[in-house]
Chains A and B, each alone.
Chain A
Amino acid sequence: MNDLTPDREERVANLKGMGCSRKRVEDARFTQGKGNYIDDMSLPGMLTGDFVRSQYAHARIKSINTEAALALDGVIAVLTAKDLEPLSLHWMPTLAGDRQMVLADGKVLFQGQEIAFVVARDRYIASDAIELVEVEYEELPVIIDPLKSLQSDVVLREDLDPKAPGAHGPRKHHNHIFTWEVGDEAGTNAVIADADVVAEASMYYHRTHPCPLEPCGCVASMDKVNGKLTLWGTFQAPHVVRTVASLLSGIEEHNIRVISPDIGGGFGNKVGVYPGYVCSIVASIVTGVPVKWVEDRMDNLMTTAFARDYWMTGKISATKDGKITGLHCHVTADHGAFDACADPTRFPAGFMSICTGSYDIPIAYLGVDGVYTNKAPGGVSYRCSFRVTEAVYFIERMIEVLAIEMNMDPAELRRINFIKKEQFPYKSALGWEYDSGDYHTAWDKVLKAVDYEGLRHEQAERLEAFKRGETRNLMGIGLSFFTEIVGAGPVKNCDILGMGMFDSCEIRIHPTGSAIARLGTISQGQGHATTFAQILASEIGIPADSITIEEGDTDTAPYGLGTYGSRSTPVAGAATAMAGRKIRAKAQMIAAYLLEVHDDDVEFDVDRFVVKGAPERFKTMGEIAYAAYNQAIPGIEPGLEAVSYYDPPNMTYPFGAYVCVMDIDVDTGVTEIRRFYALDDCGTRINPMVIEGQIHGGLTEALAVAMGQEIAYDDLGNVKTGTLMDFFLPTAWEVPNYETDHTVTPSPHHPIGAKGVGESPHVGGVPCFSNAVQDAFRPFGNRHTNMPHDHWRIWQMANALGLHD
């Protein structure tokens, strides 16, 4: 080794590979206001599109008069369903196998539904034109409650044959979409009937919305000379959008280029395919110039992709010692006017069947009924894998209710029911194979860190003081232990619209030893350009700073299913590692040739291949890259590139343990989060700084959902929460500082052992905040109270329990 060779530690540090808190490469442009978001796009001659939307939640459209709007100077076109019908684009297929109106075809089914698409020279003229479009409505009875919908004579979807099966089997009623069942119902019922203890609860997981700060939008540009359509947009799955756009429009897929520029947050909202995209494409084809459509906040909250809206009923049984023996869950799922849920095809309720949670439950049953109502379509996974937030909320509330029933400590009840370390891989009663876990270690670490016993002691003292009239503040201790199921998924059972849910990475090493890697995913703030380069740096020995990561352009990136459901690291991250290993395998042969030894006589060492036993004889990856392009090597073709399409053998199962300590003023309903401790186990950790940031953000979105955020409707189907005045997004003032912690239990089937983390804090956070509120009122007889726990509702809780008497 000569003096210029840095020591091994220095070489490892120089890579900025996995495990280091590398600063983000994205930040230079974002901090300077030089991001490139969809509304920043401007093309010559570009027009603006905007929608005439329904005032009513359910009405027949008697007429649409566009004359006055078309007469306005600067208005180029006004599209209605009649204009789209000859192209068969007035309806479009949904991701869930249903169909959805692009523009109102004879009737409207939810407030804000798209009726006409105005195309104008600028946004102001478009707004004027919208006011000039006259729509004559005939109001119809409105159904907002899914339970009533199944009893109602009112037919919402007149386009469907009520007797014909839907995409997910037979329909029981004209407003019924599907029944989906998993597990053994008769067996579960028998166990529950004979059990020592049974606890029951009904809970409504309210409708809410991902509400990324940047709303949805696109720019469509049809180049009639070349026959090429380019579509820029806020797409969490650009490749899927290209395929869907091709299938819908008949334009061959090679003539469509979809580009996701910088995306200002997604959280599931930007997975769906929306009428705005279809109308923009049509408008660009009709006008021959680019057309931009960007929704405003009200459009966003009212029409694009809500989340949750699950009415859940549960029964859980246990022995007298607290060992859980069975779990029964039924869900009435409000899907709104069209079934546009974004779930893998074979899972119409997503992965709700992870609802046995982190517990060794021998038998279980889940039944879900999907129902139409006069609400916006959607049903996306808001910062979670498909319906996992609902599942984890359900089981974590059932555990609390069982603890109340048994007069047990909920931490202890959890502990005695956890799946044990030695049981992994663990087959759950509802069919999942949990890859790895060490729940007891995580739980004990957290309870010790927060001094759980001390907290309970303090809580008891507070309660006594409250009873003596010395304070009006109660103390709640919220617990949650969650297991997520992410990284969808194995192509054998996971597809969206028939497209298998693999993902991909393509790497090119340049002759001078830097590289570019392209992936089928797309960052919306997760920092992929930073973290995927770290995976590669460790795999191929080229510094992360010398690797460009590119995503989101379907003409250059390999096909992939996109970023949602914490799938980027589990699937595309695996593809990245696998592609890196292909590079390394070829590099090994080149190195052996250059060093004049057999392939097996060299080994990879950080950033080079060395001759075994002779570390002074080596070739760096830079030298190998140069040789790969510039030296004739017998039997080896020039170049150093690799591509990997990764079909994951299983999902990954991140887990975590959270504790929230909350003070609650029973007279005002005001809450103060005193402490929040979050331990996450996401397997191998790629960038601790990024992980911690994801946890802070996910917990804050959990706080929002648990403590106030909802999409609410009145009986007439009017959206009551259409602006940020009414839709709760926490500010810095309401959000606490979080304490984070971790254990590391690698996934045994993932090439680098990583499991995904972006959504864990949301999944585990919602029940933790809710449990803290409910725990405070436990001594006064509270069993379960629905979220969101805003001040008014907490005041109502206290009032109903007689605390204001």
Chain B
Amino acid sequence: MTKHILKMTVNGETHEVLAEPRELLVYVLREKMGMKGAHVGCDTSHCGACTVEIDGKSVKSCTMFAVQAQGANITTIEGLGSPDGLHVLQQSFKEHHGLQCGYCTPGMITRAHRLLQENPNPTEAEVRFGISGNICRCTGYQNIVKAILSAAAEINAAKEAAQ
């Protein structure tokens, strides 16, 4: 099958890869760019383990062809925080025990990151609705919700302090 040259910006860096039209974005990210934080859990866009951010929207990368991301600006879990300084959400998930096996976590945090861009001050119900495209089998969500609300408060407090 003919391969296409794809150019996209991932976590601020330009990447150029060869991919067939049928290749899913999640596999290109994981196997051709080495960004393995997005996971495959269901193949049918139900579980959200593969969630990344594309041009300001949360996208399930298992349900998008890589060629559709030509020229896109993508943020994955690898683009949030670093070993030297975790992102507020990453720290908050740890503080509130918002993860267990860790398989849903990158998708969950990436989704929460987008959610807080769209709604910086969500209610509990808005958080619950906002992450309802991401399934977690371990935590029962209670601590995930707590972690996101706490991160939102922390981000808002930092913003206020900066003003």
Inter-subunit contact A696/B139 (CB<8 Å):
yes
With A31-B109, A732-B141: A297-B41 Cβ-Cβ less than 8 Å: yes
Determine the distance from Cα of A731 to Cα of B104 in the docked complex, in whole angstroms: 12
* Chain B residues with CB under 8 A of A30: 99, 101-102, 105
A698→B47 CA distance, assembly (Å): 18
- Distance between B138 CB and nearest chain A CB, rounded to angstroms: 5
Q: Give the residues in chain A near B106, CB-CB below 8 Å.
A: 31, 33
Q: Which residue of A lies closest to B102 (CB)?
A: A30
Q: Which of B32-40, B66-74, B152-160 contacts A (4 or more CB under 8 A)?
A: B32-40
How many residues of chain B get a CB closer than 8 Å to chain A's CBs? Answer: 59
Beyond A264-B101, A527-B100, A738-B140, whether A23 also contacts B37 by CB under 8 A is: no
A-B contacts, 21 of them at CB < 8 A, read A28-B86, A30-B105, A33-B77, A33-B105, A34-B37, A42-B31, A124-B22, A213-B101, A264-B101, A265-B101, A693-B138, A693-B143, A696-B142, A697-B138, A699-B140, A731-B131, A731-B134, A731-B135, A732-B128, A732-B144, A732-B145
The residue in chain B whose Cβ has the minimal distance to the Cβ of A263 is B101
Q: Determine whether A725 belongs to the interface, using a CB cutoff of 8 Å to chain B.
A: yes
Q: A30-B102, A32-B90, A124-B23 are in contact. Are A39 and B140 (CB under 8 A)?
A: no
The answer to whether A799 has its CB under 8 Å from any CB of chain B is: no
Interchain CB contact under 8 A, A214 and B99: no
Quick one: which of A725-766 are within 8 Å of B by CB?
Answer: 725, 729, 731-733, 735, 737-738
Q: Which 3 A-B pairs have the closest CB atoms?
A: A33-B37, A525-B101, A30-B102
A731 touches B39 (CB 8 A): no
- Bound-state Cα–Cα, A689 to B100, Å: 11
- For residue A21, which residue of chain B has the nearest CB? B97
Residues on A with C-beta less than 8 A from B101 are 30, 212-214, 262-265, 524-525
A690-B131 in contact given A33-B106, A35-B103 (Cβ < 8 Å): no
Chain B residues whose C-beta falls within 8 Å of the C-beta of A34 in the assembled complex: 37
Nearest CB in chain A: distance from B92 CB, A? 9
Please pick, from B20, B35, B140, the residue contacting A33 in the complex, using a CB distance under 8 A: B35
B93 to chain A, nearest CB (A): 5
A731 to B111: give the CA distance in the assembly, Å. 14
Closest to A127 in B: B22
Contact with B along A702-725 (1 / 0, CB 8 A): 000000000000000000000111
- B127 / chain A contacts, CB cutoff of 8 Å: 732
Which residues of chain B are within 8 angstroms of A738 by Cβ–Cβ distance? Answer: 140, 142
- Chain A min CB distance to B106 (Å): 4
Residue of B nearest to A30 (CB): B102
Contacts of B133 in A (CB 8 A): 731
**Residue positions of A touching B, CB distance < 8 A:** 23-24, 26-35, 37, 39-40, 42, 123-124, 211-215, 262-265, 267, 296-298, 524-527, 689-690, 692-694, 696-701, 723-725, 729, 731-733, 735, 737-738
Provide the bound-state CA to CA distance between A43 and B44, in Å. 28
B43 CB within 8 Å of chain A: yes
The answer to whether B55 has its CB under 8 Å from any CB of chain A is no
Pairwise interchain contact A725-B136, C-beta atoms closer than 8 A: no
How far does the alpha carbon of A732 sit from the alpha carbon of B40 in the complex, in Å? Answer: 19
Q: Within the assembled complex, what's the spacing in Å between the Cα atoms of A124 and B136? A: 28
Q: Are A31 and B99 in contact (CB under 8 A)?
A: yes
Q: A696-B141, A724-B135 are in contact. List 13 more A-B contacts (CB 8 A).
A: A28-B83, A28-B94, A31-B102, A39-B30, A40-B36, A213-B101, A213-B135, A264-B41, A264-B101, A264-B102, A697-B137, A699-B140, A731-B135
Contact indicator A297/B42 (Cβ below 8 Å): yes
Most chain A CB neighbours (cut-off 10 Å) among B31, B97, B101 = B101
Q: Chain B residue with minimal CB distance to A704?
A: B137
Which of B37, B42, B78, B105 is packed against the most chain A CB atoms within 10 Å? B42
Chain B window 75-117, contacts with chain A (Cβ cutoff 8 Å), 1 for yes, 0 for no? 0111001110010001101110101111111100100000000
- State in angstroms the CA–CA spacing of A393 and B106 once bound together: 35
Q: Check A697/B132 contact, CB under 8 A, given A213-B41, A213-B104, A214-B101.
A: no
Task: Provide the bound-state CA to CA distance between A580 and B93, in Å.
Answer: 32
Chain B residues, CB < 8 A from A215: 41
Task: Please name the residue on chain A nearest to B46 by beta carbon.
Answer: A724
Contacts A213-B104, A297-B44; is A124 near B20 (CB within 8 Å)? yes
User: Cα distance A99–B35 when bound, in Å?
Assistant: 41
In the complex the two chains form, what is the Cα distance from A354 to B129 in whole Å?
A: 40
A29 cross-chain contacts in B, Cβ below 8 A = 102
Give B139's nearest chain A residue, CB to CB.
A697
Whose C-beta in chain B lies nearest to the C-beta of A734?
A: B132
Cα A447 to Cα B106 in complex, Å, equals 40
Distance, CA A696 to CA B105, complexed state (A): 16
Shortest Cβ gap from A399 to chain B (Å): 26
| Chain B neighbourhood of A724, CB < 8 A | 42, 44, 46-47, 135
Q: Which of B78, B82, B140 has the most CB of A within 10 A?
A: B140
Closest to B101 in A: A525
Q: In the complex, what distance in Å separates the CA atom of A526 from the CA atom of B128?
A: 24
Q: How far is the CB of B40 from chain A (nearest CB, A)?
A: 7
Known A31-B99, A699-B140, A723-B46: A264·B39 in contact at CB below 8 Å: yes
Complex CA gap A265/B139 in Å reads 11
The answer to the question of B10 belonging to the interface, with a C-beta cut-off of 8 Å to chain A, is: no
Q: How far is the CA of A642 from the CA of B118 in the complex (A)?
A: 54
Name the residue on A nearest B83 (C-beta).
Answer: A32
B102's contact among A262, A267, A698, by CB below 8 Å, is which?
A262
Alpha-carbon separation in the docked complex, A692 to B100 (Å): 12
Chain A: minimal CB distance from B79 (Å): 9
Q: Are A33 and B76 in contact (CB under 8 A)?
A: yes
B59 on interface, CB distance cutoff 8 Å: no
Contact A697 B100 (CB under 8 A): yes
Do A737 and B142 touch across chains, with their CB atoms under 8 A apart? yes
CB distance from B154 to the nearest CB of A (A): 15
**For A42, A526, A690, A737, which residue has the most chain B Cβ atoms within 10 angstroms?**
A737
CA gap between A211 and B76 in the complex, in Å: 25
User: Which residues of A lie under 8 Å from residue B139 when comparing CB positions?
Assistant: 693, 696-697, 700
Chain A positions within 8 Å of B95 at CB level: 23
Bound-state Cα–Cα, A697 to B141, Å: 8
B141 touches A700 (CB 8 A): yes
User: Per a CB cutoff under 8 Å, which of B90, B103, B109, B128 touches A214?
Assistant: B103
B134 to A: closest C-beta gap in Å: 8
